[in-house]
Amino acid sequence: MPSRDKRERRYHTLSNDSLEKLRADGDDEAEGVLQYREIVKDFATNPHTQYAEPRICIAPCFWLRFEKDSSRRVRIWLEVDESLTIAKIEKHLEEIRQWQRFLCEWQGPEGGGNDGHSDHLGYLNANELRISPPPWLNLKKDSYCDRRIRMYIELDEPLIVKNIVKNIKPHWDWILKWRRFLREEQGPERGGRDGYLNHLDTLKAKGLSYSEIAERVACGAIDWLEWYRRQGLVEFEMALTRIDSWSEEETRHWESECSAAFSGFRIVGGCDSAEIRAWWKEALKAIRKKEGLSMKEMKWLCADRNPVSNRRIIDALRAFRSRYGSD
């Protein structure tokens, strides 16, 4: 079981030597970060990787993208997704600065003038539009998924590097207006938070009641837990036999392992964490007994004990419709 130190470790702030030591001890996450660094280093130093654009997840819903400018110098861009806040940027400043330090080490300090960095506002190419002076804000069409237009803040401008938050804050309301405009024009994403809420809203349009939709959320969590158990993980099977005596550390560990099961609860919001934990343990006890739950057990877990209330579904869908101008 991973220690508390591992769960709280900020891997992207660590030196390569520290990550190498962790990798030698079998730490998969440390190995993943080292691989990211090798990819970006190759991108920054190898002219033959001109068209690659590494996109790295620093933390849940916190993405950095690396792109070459006209001088073939690699720059860092922060994706402005629906969950990005000033507080989240502040929380991950050290990770950002570590990546800035690496790029400077690999590429050398930037020369005088623009050094190939265009101050041009407007279309930079067929898929990219710059819409503001420093801090540079770019709209870029995905080269993957559904070709959705995403918004990024460049993190390499000298003023931004010195004090990222101070220099972004004065422009934050304007950035949020652009984010809202893109959301309203493009509609919800196929996946992610809005994709899930769009799915629930579609169920309502098809005639399901709010109670039935709440049950669907809980059933989705059970489906995931049953899938996880079918993977036949010996450590998990052994842990289930003594679930009633789990320590707090063990409980947190298995909550982390099963976190995907709670995604629907988190997206709907307003669910009590203690209630979700109690429900999750009851669900695990039910699925450990046999393959597949009876209708009575499903009703008990998805209706009687469901941590998602009808009110939460109503509020979540009302807020979702309001964001897209459909309420």
Domain co-membership, 144 together with 69: yes
Do residue 174 and residue 31 come from a single domain? yes
Same domain? For 180 and 207 the reply is: no
Of the candidates 162, 186, 210, which is a domain's last residue? Answer: 186
Q: pLDDT tens, 213-222? A: 999 999 988 8
Average pLDDT over residues 87-96: 90
Quick one: pLDDT at residue 4? 45
Which helix H or strand E contains 137, and what residues bound it? strand 137-141
The verdict on 145 and 12 lying in the same domain is: yes
Please give the mean pLDDT across all residues of the chain: 81
- On the CB side of 145, CA atoms within 13 Å amount to 10
- Tens of pLDDT, residue by residue over 157-185, are 655 556 788 888 888 888 888 888 887 77
pTM (2 d.p.): 0.60
List the domain range (segments joined by +) for residue 279.
192-323
Q: Do 134 and 210 sit in the same domain of this protein?
A: no
Statement to judge: residues 266 and 138 lie in one domain: no
Whether residue 20 is found in the same domain as residue 155: yes
Domain finish residue from 135, 169, 186? 186
Total domain count, the chain:
2
> Quick one: 25 and 142 in the same domain?
yes
Position 124 confidence tier, pLDDT thresholds 50, 70, 90: low
Does residue 92 surpass a pLDDT of 70? yes
Residue 30 and residue 145 in one domain: yes
Q: 152, 186, 220: which is the final residue of a domain?
A: 186
Q: Are 111 and 143 within one domain? A: yes
Q: 276-296 b/e with 16+ CB inside 10 Å = b?
A: beebbbebbebbeeeeebeee
Q: What is the mean pLDDT of residues 251-258?
A: 85
